[in-house]
Structure 1
C-alpha cells in the first residue's frame, strides 16, 4: 500500500467512525438538551417581560405627553380673545 492509498484508507476510517453511514442521526444525550431548553425558556421569558415593561413605560409616557399637549392646546384656545380675527381687518 503506497502513501496515497494509506491516506485514503485513513480518511475512510475517520469518516466511518465520525459520521453515521446508515443515515440515521445519532441521538444526543437528553440531560444537556433539557437543561439548554430550560435555560432558553427562562431567558425568553425574561426578554418578554423586559419588552413588556419598557413598552408599557413608553406607552404611559406617550399618554402623559398627549394629555399635556391637549391641556396646553385647550389653555391657548381659552386665552385667545373671542373677538380677535387674527389682525387681517386692517385694510
Structure 2
C-alpha cells in the first residue's frame, strides 16, 4: 500500500511510528543523566584498575630490585670473605 491509498490517520501513525518525517526525536533528559552516570562509573573503574595494576607492577619491580641488590651483596661478601680466608692459611 502506498501513501496515496492510506488515510490521513494511517499516514500520521506511520510517520510517528517510523519517524519518516525527517524530524529528530529528542530524547528526554532521564536517559542522558543515566548514560552520564554509567560512563562516569565505568571511567572510575577503569582508572582504579589501571592504578591497581600499575601499583602491583611497581611493588613487584621494587621487590625484584631489592632481591637483586641482596644477592649482589651476598656474592660480594662471599668473594671478599673467601679471599681473606686464603690469605690467612
Indicate the TM-score class for this superposition, using the shorter chain for normalisation. 0.5 to 0.7
CA distance in 2, matches of 1:18, 1:82: 93
Match of 1:86 in 2: none
Alignment of 1:40 with 2:43, yes or no, is: no
1:63 CA drift (Å): 0.3
Aligned length: 76
1:54 CA drift (Å): 2.0
TM-score norm. by structure 2 comes to 0.61
CA distance in 2, matches of 1:25, 1:59: 51
TM-score norm. by structure 1 comes to 0.60
| Residue ranges of structure 1 left out of the alignment (5+ in a row) | 84-91
Q: What RMSD, in angstroms, separates the aligned Cα atoms of the two structures?
A: 3.0
Task: Pick the structure with more helix per residue.
Answer: 2
1:79 CA drift (Å): 0.5
